[in-house]
A and B are shown apart, each in its own frame.
Chain A
Amino acid sequence: MTIKWSKRLLLAFSFLTATNGWCADLHGRSSTQILSFINDFNNGRQIELAEYLHFSLTNIDKANKFSVSGYGRGSQDLNNGDGINGRLYYLYGEYRDLYNVLDTKLGRQFVNLSAGTTIIDGVQMDLKNVGPVGFTVLGGRDVAFGVNGEIGHEGNYALGLAAYLTGFKNTDLDVSWFRKWDAGDVSRDIVGGSFKQFLFKNVKAYANARYDLTSEVFNEVLAGVKYFPTANLILTGEWYQSYPTFDTTDIFSVFAVNRYQEGVFRADYTVNDVVAVNAGYSRQDYGDDGTADVYEVGCRLHPIETVSVGLAYDRRQGIGGHLDGGMFDVAWDATKKLQLASGLTVDAYSRDFFPSSSGSQTAQQYWAGGKYRLAKNMQASLRVQDDINVTRNSNVQGRFIFDYDF
Chain B
Amino acid sequence: MKKWFVYCMLMALSALYAQQAFAQKQSHKEYASLKITECNSCHKSEGVALNHDADWVRGHRVLAAKGEKNCAECHDQAYCLDCHQGGGIDSKLSTNNYRRDYIPKSHRSDWLEIHPLKALDNPQSCYRCHEQKYCSQCHSKFQSSSLEFLSHRRQFSDIKLTNVGPNHASFTTAQCQTCHPGGMLPTHAWAPDHAREARRNLQACQSCHGDGDVCLTCHSARTGLKVNPHPRNWGSISGNLKSKSGGRTCIRCHDSF
Asked if A354 contacts B229 (CB within 8 A), the reply is: no
Asked if A385 contacts B96 (CB within 8 A), the reply is: yes
- Closest-by-CB residue of A relative to B231 is A256
- Closest-by-CB residue of A relative to B193 is A353
Of A29, A146, A217, A321, which contacts B90 at CB under 8 A?
A29
Whole-angstrom distance between the alpha carbons of A321 and B212 in the complex? 26
Asked if A320 contacts B66 (CB within 8 A), the reply is: no
Which B residues are CB-close (under 8 A) to A323?
114, 117-118
Contact with A along B160-186 (1 / 0, CB 8 A): 000000000000000000000000000
Contact with B along A294-325 (1 / 0, CB 8 A): 10001010000000000000001001110101
Answer whether residue B249 sits at the interface, using C-beta atoms and an 8 A cutoff: yes
Which A residues are CB-close (under 8 A) to B248?
185, 249
Asked if A355 contacts B148 (CB within 8 A), the reply is: yes
A-B contact count (CB 8 A): 384
Whole-angstrom distance between the alpha carbons of A141 and B124 in the complex? 23
Which A residues are CB-close (under 8 A) to B30?
none
Of A31, A206, A214, which contacts B241 at CB under 8 A?
A214
Whole-angstrom distance between the alpha carbons of A228 and B53 in the complex? 11
Asked if A354 contacts B78 (CB within 8 A), the reply is: no
Contacting A at CB under 8 A, from B228-257, are: 229-234, 236-237, 240-241, 244-246, 248-250, 252-253
Asked if A163 contacts B124 (CB within 8 A), the reply is: no
Which A residues are CB-close (under 8 A) to B92?
341
Answer whether residue A5 sits at the interface, using C-beta atoms and an 8 A cutoff: no
Contacting B at CB under 8 A, from A383-404, are: 383, 385, 387, 389-391, 397, 399, 401
Whole-angstrom distance between the alpha carbons of A319 and B117 in the complex? 9
Asked if B120 contacts A287 (CB within 8 A), the reply is: no
Q: Which of A6-14, A16-24, A194-202 contacts B (4 or more CB under 8 A)?
A: A194-202
Asked if B94 contacts A231 (CB within 8 A), the reply is: no
Which A residues are CB-close (under 8 A) to B78?
54, 71, 89-90
Asked if B77 contacts A69 (CB within 8 A), the reply is: yes
- Closest-by-CB residue of B relative to A388 is B110
Asked if A50 contacts B118 (CB within 8 A), the reply is: no
Answer whether residue B225 sits at the interface, using C-beta atoms and an 8 A cutoff: no
Answer whether residue B205 sits at the interface, using C-beta atoms and an 8 A cutoff: yes
- Closest-by-CB residue of A relative to B244 is A186
Contact with B along A174-207 (1 / 0, CB 8 A): 1010000000111101001010101011101011
Contacting B at CB under 8 A, from A153-184, are: 162-172, 174, 176, 184
Which B residues are CB-close (under 8 A) to A69?
76-77
Asked if B123 contacts A244 (CB within 8 A), the reply is: yes
Return A143 CB to nearest CB of chain B, in Å: 10
Asked if B137 contacts A164 (CB within 8 A), the reply is: no
Whole-angstrom distance between the alpha carbons of A371 and B91 in the complex? 11
Return A332 CB to nearest CB of chain B, in Å: 11
Asked if A316 contacts B89 (CB within 8 A), the reply is: no
Asked if A168 contacts B65 (CB within 8 A), the reply is: no
Of A35, A52, A89, A255, which contacts B215 at CB under 8 A?
A255
Asked if B67 contacts A163 (CB within 8 A), the reply is: yes
Which A residues are CB-close (under 8 A) to B23?
168-170
Q: List 25 A-B contacts (CB under 8 A).
A: A71-B77, A89-B77, A112-B69, A114-B67, A147-B138, A163-B67, A168-B23, A174-B67, A189-B244, A198-B47, A215-B233, A231-B40, A240-B122, A244-B202, A246-B132, A248-B244, A288-B199, A292-B121, A325-B109, A347-B108, A351-B116, A355-B148, A367-B96, A369-B93, A390-B110
Contact with B along A126-165 (1 / 0, CB 8 A): 0000001010100000001111000100000000001111
Which B residues are CB-close (under 8 A) to A266?
55
Answer whether residue A113 sits at the interface, using C-beta atoms and an 8 A cutoff: yes
Contact with A along B60-79 (1 / 0, CB 8 A): 01111111110000001110
- Closest-by-CB residue of B relative to A56 is B76
Which B residues are CB-close (under 8 A) to A144?
131, 133-134
